A = this chain, B = another copy of it.
Amino acid sequence: MTTRIVELRRGILKKNDELAAGLRLRFNAAGVLVLNLVSSPGTGKTAFLERTLRELLARGFRAAALVGDLETDNDARRLAASGAPVRQINTHGICHLDAEMISKHLAGWDTVTGANGAELAGLDFLFIENVGNLVCPSSYDLGEKIRVALLSVTEGEDKPLKYPTLFNSADAAVITKIDIAEPCDFDRTLALKNINEIRPGIKIFETSAKTGAGMEEWLAWLAAERAAPERLKS
């Protein structure tokens, strides 16, 4: 039975990769920088993204978000408070986003504009908040240019070692909730060591969406990546 699953999975991933390659071309043509945010449930992706969107908008950037969840539109409502256009993707039991879901939920964004609409070509940034899961999302390319792995100080420093596929495929790592590092007995040195062991030299941000710590560095990096010459992800 295992062989059959592995083969089917391979077929699904191949199909996904093809769709994602198409999305990537489309994002490049529109000149929008697309980021895929992956973490456990509860890492604080939504709070981090809400603050990111709000601060980008305040700096005159145009940013939008797609947010994946099994059920509920809680996260879309939280993100929309930033003022950015947001769309919820309900996966109804699927534990990750795939390229097809992204493609479907972009429908209309090529043409629609207005107060809460977004034209893909008019965007500087499109953030995709994945379903909270450290495993399956790592296998599904969504056409993003930058994959961000998030890890909170509450989660245990050995997460990168236990979930190597995610950290291995990430272009940046964000440590969240550093405001509560102390009561959580967070071992910063060990966490940085473990991330670097799985993905040597990866850019790491240490942040708190609550206090704003580390956000300046993150926003400056986003702006620089946005300004960088087009580079296709291999």
A residues in contact (CB < 8 Å) with B: 1, 4-5, 8, 12, 15, 40-44, 69-72, 74, 93, 95, 100, 131-136, 152, 154-156, 158-159, 161-165, 177, 179-180, 183-184
In the complex, what's the smallest C-beta–C-beta distance from A139 to chain B, in angstroms? 8
> How many copies of the chain does the oligomer comprise?
2
The CA-CA distance from A15 to B2 in the complex, in Å, is: 12
The CA-CA distance from A140 to B133 in the complex, in Å, is: 17
The CA-CA distance from A100 to B5 in the complex, in Å, is: 14
A and B contact pairs by CB, cutoff 8 A, 11 listed = A40-B40, A41-B155, A42-B152, A42-B154, A44-B156, A69-B162, A70-B164, A71-B164, A93-B135, A180-B184, A183-B183
Residues of B contacting A12 in the complex (Cβ-Cβ under 8 angstroms): 1, 5
**Extra inter-chain contacts (5) besides given A72-B162, A136-B136, CB under 8 Å:** A1-B100, A5-B8, A69-B162, A154-B155, A180-B180
Among B8, B70, B134, B163, the residue within 8 A (CB) of A163 is: B70
Known: A131-B135, A132-B134, A133-B135. A41 touches B72 (CB 8 A): no
